[in-house]
Amino acid sequence: MKYASEILTTVKVNWEALATRCGLSRGEIENMCPAFKESEKHTDII
């Protein structure tokens, strides 16, 4: 459980920077944002 929580925190904090480093455009990142926001609501399953 500890590892899963750490992974979720890392993804929550760093996903936009990682997407930028991978070459995604600002528009593509903005399109992904709702999915990441939705995933933050479901961290209670861990």
- For every one of its 46 residues, what pLDDT tens digit does the chain have, with 9 covering 90 and above? 788 888 888 888 889 999 999 999 999 999 999 988 887 776 665 5
Give the chain's domain count: 1
**Is residue 45 in a domain?**
no
How many CB atoms sit inside 10 A of residue 19's CB? 17
CA distance 29 to 32: 5
| pTM exceeding 0.85 | no
pLDDT of residue 21: 95
Say what the pLDDT of residue 23 is: 97
Residue 23 belongs to a domain:
yes
Question: What are the start-end ranges of the H helices in 1-46?
Answer: 2-21, 26-40
> Coil, strand, or helix at residue 43?
helix
- Which 8-state DSSP code applies to residue 23? T
Range of the domain at 10: 2-40
pLDDT at site 46: 56
